[in-house]
Amino acid sequence: MIIESSLQAEATIDREVVNAGDYYLKVVKKGQTVRILDLEGNQAADTLFYNANNVSERYSATDTIREQGNVYLTAGSVLMSNECKPMLKIVADTCGRHDTVGGACATESNTVRYALEKKCMHACRDSWLLAIAENEALGLSKKDITHNINFFMNVPVTSDGKLSFADGISGAGKYVELEALMDVVVLISNCPQLNNPCNAYNPTPIEILIWN
Ligand SMILES: [Zn+2]
């Protein structure tokens, strides 16, 4: 569902460009709005959310899919935690569909999906692990890296229940905007993947904007 935002970029309290292969980690307070902007198009923003006051509570794809009765995320989707509490709501979306089933790239999956020699290529899971290692105070560890959201990524579920990684449907300037329903840690890996048509084999920067 396409819903445009009425928020003005000049009124942000924080904005940051994140290059492909880098991570973004910030706390967004309850009531604040965060926008993920696909600057050049067809990028994938692999995202995890945690309750900032208790990081053992985190985004849950299974609870979210069950509660909304839809495998895709878009405007109106409420992102649920593993304690089945609402964490964030997608309040604007100019892309129209986001994946939460396909998972993030890892060096291991690169070898299975693409080729053995892809093992050493940088992957989203590496960026998340680096983020939690460089931000020890948050109390996150490897076991907290679980199923995620791939904003802007097009992973259609086929009629026989399989996943197909398809060409991206996002474009330059498209965005998704979420209102925090609790204080959340936002952890994004701006995907460095070079082997997947979802990003046209060309990882590009994203920008993250926050409003009060
Ligand atoms: Zn990735």
Burial class of residue 65, CB neighbours in 10 A (0-12, 13-18, 19+): middle
Rounded distance from Cα 187 to ligand 1 centre (Å): 13
Residue 147: is its pLDDT beyond 90? yes
Cβ 88 vs Cβ 79: under 8 Å = yes
Q: Which residue has the higher pLDDT, 195 or 17?
A: 17
**Per-residue pLDDT, 119:** 83
Residue 200: is its pLDDT beyond 80? no
- What's the predicted TM-score (pTM) here? 0.95
pLDDT above 90 as % of the chain: 78
CA dist., res. 47 & res. 144, Å (int):
13
Rounded distance from Cα 106 to ligand 1 centre (Å): 7
Rounded distance from Cα 6 to ligand 1 centre (Å): 30
Rounded distance from Cα 46 to ligand 1 centre (Å): 6
Rounded distance from Cα 151 to ligand 1 centre (Å): 11
Rounded distance from Cα 132 to ligand 1 centre (Å): 17
- The CA angle 7-13-18, to the nearest 5 degrees, is 90
Q: For 16-60, write each residue's pLDDT tens digit.
A: 999 999 999 999 999 999 999 999 998 999 999 999 999 999 999
Whole-number Cα distances in Å, 96 to 20, 26, 29, 50, 85: 22, 25, 25, 24, 24
Rounded distance from Cα 104 to ligand 1 centre (Å): 5
Rounded distance from Cα 165 to ligand 1 centre (Å): 12
Rounded distance from Cα 11 to ligand 1 centre (Å): 31
Q: Which residue has the higher pLDDT, 21 or 116?
A: 21
Mean pLDDT across 58-66: 98
Q: What does pLDDT average to over the chain?
A: 94
Residue 144: is its pLDDT beyond 80? yes
Rounded distance from Cα 10 to ligand 1 centre (Å): 30
Rounded distance from Cα 30 to ligand 1 centre (Å): 28
Residues with CB under 5 A from ligand 1 (ion): 105, 124, 191, 193
**Per-residue pLDDT, 195:** 81
Residue 198: is its pLDDT beyond 70? no
